[in-house]
A and B are shown apart, each in its own frame.
Chain A
Amino acid sequence: MIEAHGLTKRYGHTTAVDGASFTVQPGRVTGFLGPNGAGKSTTMRMIVGLDRPTAGDVTVNGKHYAAHRSPLTEVGALLEARAVHPGRTARGHLRAMAATHGIGDRRVDEVIELTGLGAVAGKRVGGFSLGMNQRLGVAVALLGDPHTLILDEPVNGLDPEGVIWVRTLVRYLASQGRTVFLSSHLMSEMAVTADHIIVIGRGRIIADAPVEQVVAGATHSTVRVRSPRATELADLLRRAGATVDSAEPGVLQVVGTGPEAVGEAAAAHGIVLHELTTVSGSLEDAYLALTAEEVEYHSGVAAPADPRTGYPGGGQAVPSGPPPTAQPPVPPTAPAAGAPTDVQEDVR
């Protein structure tokens, strides 16, 4: 179990991590999601004591990482795949790391086998691809057969097979009751790998919830309506409490109410509809919606007049951006699915 309380890291005037509090529970895979530069790596580096927090505290199984008698059997970490002397062989690197804890060559061979490095174990690391380096990093993390695994972007540079391998491995390790904390900037990867997701943006924890809730809470379904009397319909819907936006004349994007309600309202006032479609958001939309505000601030751009510009390359139908005011990016109304989510509550 990893517990962070008000974890903060500042470099000069830049705040990399800003009062992050969260708990990573054992027995499940916890994803740590955020855009590049959001503070994921810094947070992970603070967990293993490579960086000293400016404020706050983080413990692993109740103690600071460095206070453990046997850190490598407590926590296995892959923080930076390139953190290897290129002139050393993979086996040489593993043996040196293992030796610090008296871990024998048998275990070194085991992790080499386990990570599929058998064929290249005797080769110098300098010639390794990023994918092979990642595997070596995972091998180091597994050396101590640790209770807790911290993996920073473990699938970076891996081929599809490698991605599946990491996914299988971390799920297996979590099923054994271990704590698994892995970061990614890819929502799609997290959605299939993690049970629980902590979203970080601009150093702050934006969401901390089971994966389904993050997805459901952040992807708000939109109803797309086309009607010759669109303006009239928009007024009706707004009065009913929905958020209505119009991208082109005659077409409405409705958030905060289902297609049934829109259809009924139209029928009640005899408004002809040419189209009534539910557009559900994708995982990427959810992620972008969660982090959009953070990204905007990060790049120093003021809240744009057109809310859609808040989504960098959001792609398909993302009709309602965050309000131009500094509201939380999650829509205040519950999504079509119903029940309010933890995401809402944890938004700060």
Chain B
Amino acid sequence: MSTATTTPATTPSQQPARSDLRLSPLHVLRSEWLKFWTVRSTYWTLALTAAVFVGLVVAVSFGMRALSAQQQVNEAGPLPLIPLSAGAQLAMIPLAVLGVLTVTSEYSTGMIRASLTAVPTRLPVLWAKAAVVAVVTLVLTLVTVLLSAILASAILHSTGGSLDAGDPQVQRIVLGTALYLTTTTLFAFSLGALLRHSAAALGVVLTLLLVIENVLNVLAQVVWKWLQHVTPFLPASAGSRLTMTERQLTATNDANLYHVHLSAWQGYAVLVAWVVVILAFAAIRLRARDA
């Protein structure tokens, strides 16, 4: 550090056309892209997501082959689609961590003050972050889901259940699983942006998606049936319809005593609405509060 005592003779002055330099949404996007890829947690959460998803799909596929559960083909739909939902359930956890940390780490480290000094209009930071998280997660999950579907199809080939790539249901579920995971990641991101605290946001996201919703769904079936008015609209319950086979979807809708029926895409739209609302509150808070 001792070399820096020199007179700053070469400092500013010889800047190129400084009029070219300006704050713009695209520049902020580039900045957030750089930020995203320059912290280690990004790499391990993405790697863990892919590993967990593929690993679980392969394991479940082998398990199903061992049981040679032939009869399920008729009950639920094409057999190799079944392991995908198990993979999605588990991959949601590292992705929620990724979504939350992308934004809360700015607050826990104080980096947010540097970020908002560079972008005093503030909101572009939030949108750019969301865009980076969404694009990266979508690409990763699409590749992972495709790969897993191919593996599951190969493993379960001997049981007679292979996937037909031309089947609209198969296409919808492969794309839908990736979209569902991407959107739950954005759900986690939005709660992180709203709560600004890693542990709080992660706690809320994971207990809500993985515990509370399941508990409510059980209660709705067993004790408080009136809950069935509400449970279809819970974020994961609604969004996961996009990952269901047509038969599972019909069964879910038929099981609702109050005829609250949601199609796959309607369910997904409900999850998107959750994200939009939470993100809007996060944006209001970002604008209004001192950083």
Contact = CB atoms under 8 A, between A and B. Distances in A.
A87 interface: yes
Contacts of B105: 85
B1 A142 contact: no
Given A142-B11, A172-B8, A73 B18 contact: yes
B1 A70 contact: no
Interface in B203-252: none
**Residue among A52, A66, A89, A96 having the largest count of chain B Cβ atoms under 10 Å:** A96
A173 interface: yes
A338 interface: no
Contacts, number: 154
B35 A100 contact: no
Instruction: Tell me the dominant secondary structure on chain B's binding face.
Output: helix
A168 B7 contact: yes
**Residue among A70, A85, A131, A135 having the largest count of chain B Cβ atoms under 10 Å:** A85
B21 A48 contact: no
Contact of A80 (B23, B34, B110): B110
B5 A165 contact: yes
Given A50-B117, A77-B117, A99-B31, A70 B8 contact: no
A147 B49 CA distance: 46
Contacts of B30: 99-100, 102
A192 to B, nearest CB: 15
Interface in A120-174: 131-132, 135, 140, 142, 144-145, 159, 161-162, 164-165, 168-169, 172-173
Interface in A75-89: 77, 79-80, 82-89
Nearest to B12: A145
B41 to A, nearest CB: 7
Contacts of B35: 85, 88, 96
Interface in B100-143: 105-106, 109-114, 116-121
Interface string A37-53: 00000000100111110
B71 interface: no
Contact of B114 (A65, A83, A162): A83
Nearest to A178: B12
Nearest to B112: A83
B74 interface: no
Contact of B109 (A65, A79, A84): A84
Given A101-B21, A101-B22, A71 B118 contact: yes
A102 B22 contact: yes
Contacts of A87: 38-41
A127 B110 CA distance: 16
A118 B52 CA distance: 40
Contact of B11 (A84, A92, A114, A118): A114
Interface of A: 45, 48-52, 65-66, 69-73, 77, 79-80, 82-89, 92-93, 95-103, 107, 110, 113-116, 118-119, 131-132, 135, 140, 142, 144-145, 159, 161-162, 164-165, 168-169, 172-173, 176
23 contacts: A48-B120, A50-B117, A51-B290, A51-B291, A80-B110, A80-B113, A83-B114, A84-B110, A88-B39, A93-B38, A95-B34, A96-B35, A99-B31, A102-B22, A102-B27, A116-B2, A116-B4, A119-B1, A161-B1, A164-B5, A168-B7, A169-B11, A176-B13
Given A48-B117, A88-B35, A93-B38, 13 more contacts: A65-B120, A72-B118, A73-B22, A84-B114, A85-B39, A95-B34, A96-B34, A99-B28, A100-B30, A101-B23, A135-B4, A142-B11, A164-B5
